[in-house]
């Protein structure tokens, strides 16, 4: 787990070694254990090739330094992540005559590329982003893992640049740091910027499951992985057999993620997902498993009691922190800086703070991330089973004129009921996916911005699956947009901010292939969803953990905005110096704040999004913002 940075630049734009070192070291938090840098030229001297690396040592502490080069010096690699099946791959490569100087998975990746070329990526079971220079073919290969657990940002500026985080690219000499106004519009709808966009016009994301090949100044991006839901048929019809197969595959996914040469543990929330991970870890560990939890003094938001129940049952070495409002506020700007974007979820900050605490004991943790998106654990997955029926029975006019206004008139704390009602009336598929977890509806977004705007999808891929049920289509969207551009982005950036590697057994490709063969009722058929997982854990976890209502990793932002953050949120969004007013109508901002503070409406999500946008604009100071502020006129709709 590391930070990578590099470029291929036309010769007249070459940069010195100090620039490579300085920009790579902006990611020291991703790799505090070591660093490496290498510069060379293409064979025709037309382009400069530079590779930089910051290392967090997990596998082969002595022999895994990077950039790593093949024995003949023809292939150089900077690699962020882990190949969990590197032992099996090495055995296969040994049988083909390959030899190894180290015991690292980095060298396995190099030799796999030497054996099978770019197609070797399809053999990797892990999380990764890498830049590989092939001097034989005079090409640079960039790749990102199937589900996008590891980030890779790219920019074209007199060549091609790549990095694990945005900041080194923004500080590259001559880089355009203008904000992308369309990204702001997408952010307000989604609470994150869907890939391949970022907040900056010059920087974009390499999509998950894709590799890029640069050669002689030209780039080509190929998608090598599509979530199995797109093509698999639900052909496993026996529930007990599905449970048996799931247990075996999940157990193996946990086992291979425990391969490490350093101390590791688990993040434990007390929910079924992380508890299942801990239970499997205990089976495979000869030592006491370390667990870490974070919670709040507000009892309705904290899951610490449930985490303690699991810790006692499995006798883990358990530690926890209770997050206070002033600690949260102090860490908030750092989270935005590390993410290179607004913090899409309040949970970003607790994850970062927990990682700083855990880093004093371990270097790697396993988490329960991805279970809901793989196995159908959200209320929206169950709701999608009946929305088509609702839309057939209830004419759009009845929904718009009677039902929707009635729901809006409900008390401020009926937030979930309002979301379900709004989504049930939305017949446009992409818009409904954005509504479920988004910040605002399309109409509300237009009102905040001050003018109607069309909806242009930055990437149609998450909405492209044209077969299967609403549940499967929703899960496909989750796995190709909500996860990589939000939750997995949070997991990587917030854990790496504390120099912690996070591994996610539920995001295993073998597990995804199996689950794609389950019918809908094996996933969302029972109360709380994730039917197969609950059945698999029936004799392992306490009944109270299996049956309790899903809380999710919620932070008491609604209460803090009305309490200790009352003046902060008001000053942040409606003061004369608010930068967010460059994009939003100031009167609407003031109305949203006042309604929330007066408890007339719960605007928690949209106020969180706007507050983070303001802090992001203050931290990064995009070059186009002042010009936009001078020329932008916002009138209420």
- The order of strands in the sheet holding 501-503 is 317-323, 290-296, 264-267, 364-366, 501-503
User: What is the spatial distance between Cα 622 and Cα 612, in angstroms, rounded to a whole number?
Assistant: 15
Judged by DSSP in three states, 6 sits in strand
> In the numeric block, which tokens belong to residue 133?
């220079």
Q: Is the dihedral of CA 135, 137, 138, 140 positive or negative?
A: negative
Three-state secondary structure of 256-324: HCCCCCCCEEEECCCCHHHHHHHHHHHHHCCCCCEEEEEEECCCCCCCHHHHHHHHHHCCCEEEEEEEC
Cβ–Cβ < 8 Å for 604, 415: yes
Cα–Cα dist 348/356, whole Å: 13
Structure tokens at 60: 């082969």
DSSP single-letter state for residue 207:
P
Pair of tokens at residue 350: 């607790």
Q: Give the closest residue to 52 by CA, choosing from 41, 36, 74.
A: 36
Angle at 370 between CA 271 and CA 338, to 5 degrees: 100
CA pair distance 44, 216, nearest whole angstrom:
10
Residue 2 falls in the annotated catalytic set = yes
- CA of 494: how far to CAs of 64, 330, 360, 361, 362, in Å? 24, 15, 16, 17, 16
Yes or no: say if 355 and 494 are a contact pair by the CB < 8 Å rule: yes
Rg (CA), the chain: 24
Q: What is the rounded CA–CA span in Å between residue 125 and residue 442? A: 39
**Residue 40, both tokens:** 């060379």
Name the residue with tokens 């049952």: 313
**What is the spatial distance between Cα 35 and Cα 64, in angstroms, rounded to a whole number?**
11
Query: Whose CA is closest to 1, among 73, 84, 70, 76?
Result: 84
In total, the chain counts a number of residues equal to 637
Degrees to nearest 5, angle at CA 308 with 302 and 310: 115
Is beta strand 153-156 parallel, antiparallel or unpaired with respect to 139-144?
A: unpaired
**Beta partners for 131?**
78, 142
Contact yes or no for 382/515 (Cβ under 8 A) = no
Distance, C-alpha 538 to centroid of its chain: 29
Q: Dihedral sign for Cα 237, 241, 243, 249, please.
A: negative
The C-alpha atoms of residue 148 and residue 480 are separated, in whole angstroms, by 9
Please tell me whether residue 58 adopts helix, strand or coil conformation: coil
Catalytic residue selected from 2, 89, 278, 387 = 2
Q: How far apart are CA 476 and CA 464, in angstroms?
A: 9
As annotated, the active-site residues are: 2
């Amino acid at each position: 787990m590391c930070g990578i940075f590099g470029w291929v630049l036309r010769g007249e734009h070459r940069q010195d070694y100090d620039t490579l070192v300085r920009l790579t070291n902006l990611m020291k938090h991703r790799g505090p254990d070591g660093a490496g840098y290498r510069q060379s030229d293409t064979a025709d001297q037309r382009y400069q090739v530079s590779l930089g690396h910051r290392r967090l040592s997990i596998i082969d502490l002595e022999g895994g330094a990077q950039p790593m080069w093949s024995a003949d010096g023809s292939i150089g690699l900077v690699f962020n992540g882990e190949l969990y099946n590197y032992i099996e791959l090495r055995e296969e490569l040994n049988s083909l005559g390959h030899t190894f100087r180290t015991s690292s998975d980095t060298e396995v990746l190099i030799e796999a590329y030497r054996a099978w070329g770019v197609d070797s990526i399809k053999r990797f079971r892990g999380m990764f982003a890498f830049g590989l220079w092939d001097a034989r073919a005079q090409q640079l290969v960039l790749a990102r893992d199937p589900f996008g657990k590891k980030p890779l940002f790219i920019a074209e500026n007199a060549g091609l640049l790549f990095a694990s985080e945005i900041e080194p690219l923004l500080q590259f000499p001559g880089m355009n740091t203008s904000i992308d106004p369309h990204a702001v519009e997408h952010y307000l709808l989604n609470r994150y910027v869907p890939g391949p966009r970022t907040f900056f016009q010059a920087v974009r994301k390499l999509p998950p499951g894709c590799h890029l090949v640069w050669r002689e100044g030209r780039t080509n991006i190929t998608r090598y992985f599509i979530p199995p839901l797109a093509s698999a048929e639900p052909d496993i019809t026996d529930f007990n057999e599905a449970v048996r197969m799931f247990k075996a595959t999940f157990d193996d996914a946990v086992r291979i993620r425990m391969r490490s040469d350093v101390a590791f543990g688990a993040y434990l929330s007390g929910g079924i997902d992380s508890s299942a991970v801990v239970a499997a870890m205990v089976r495979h560990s000869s030592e006491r498993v370390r667990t870490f939890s974070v919670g709040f003094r507000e009892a309705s938001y904290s899951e610490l009691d449930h985490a303690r129940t699991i810790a006692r049952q499995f006798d883990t070495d358990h530690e926890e922190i209770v997050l206070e409002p002033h600690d949260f506020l102090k860490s908030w700007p750092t989270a935005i800086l590390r993410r290179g974007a607004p913090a899409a979820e309040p949970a970003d900050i607790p994850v970062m703070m927990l990682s700083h605490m855990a880093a004093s004991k371990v270097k790697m943790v396993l988490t329960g991330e991805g279970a809901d998106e793989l196995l159908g654990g959200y209320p929206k997955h169950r709701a999608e089973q009946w929305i088509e029926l609702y839309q057939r029975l209830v004419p759009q006019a009845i929904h718009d004129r009677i039902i929707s206004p009635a729901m809006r008139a409900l008390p401020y704390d009926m937030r979930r009921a309002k979301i379900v009602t709004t989504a049930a009336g939305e017949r446009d598929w992409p818009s409904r996916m954005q509504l479920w977890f988004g910040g605002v509806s399309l109409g509300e977004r237009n009102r905040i911005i001050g003018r109607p705007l069309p909806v242009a999808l930055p990437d149609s891929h998450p909405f492209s699956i044209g077969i299967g049920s609403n549940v499967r289509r929703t899960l496909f969207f989750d796995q190709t947009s909500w996860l990589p551009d939000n939750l997995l982005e949070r997991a990587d950036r917030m854990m790496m901010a504390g120099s912690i590697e996070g591994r996610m057994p539920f995001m295993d490709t073998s597990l995804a292939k199996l689950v794609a063969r389950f019918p809908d009722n094996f996933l969302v058929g029972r109360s709380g969803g994730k039917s197969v997982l609950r059945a698999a854990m029936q004799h392992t976890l306490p009944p109270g953990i299996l049956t309790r209502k899903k809380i999710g990793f919620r932070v008491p932002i609604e209460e803090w905005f009305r309490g200790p953050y009352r003046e902060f949120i008001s000053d942040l969004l409606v003061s004369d110096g608010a930068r967010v007013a460059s994009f939003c109508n100031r009167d609407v901002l003031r109305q949203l704040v006042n309604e929330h503070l007066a408890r007339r409406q719960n605007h928690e999500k949209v106020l969180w999004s706007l507050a983070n946008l303001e802090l992001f604009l203050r931290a990064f100071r995009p070059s186009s913002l002042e010009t936009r502020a001078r020329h932008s006129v916002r009138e209420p709709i």
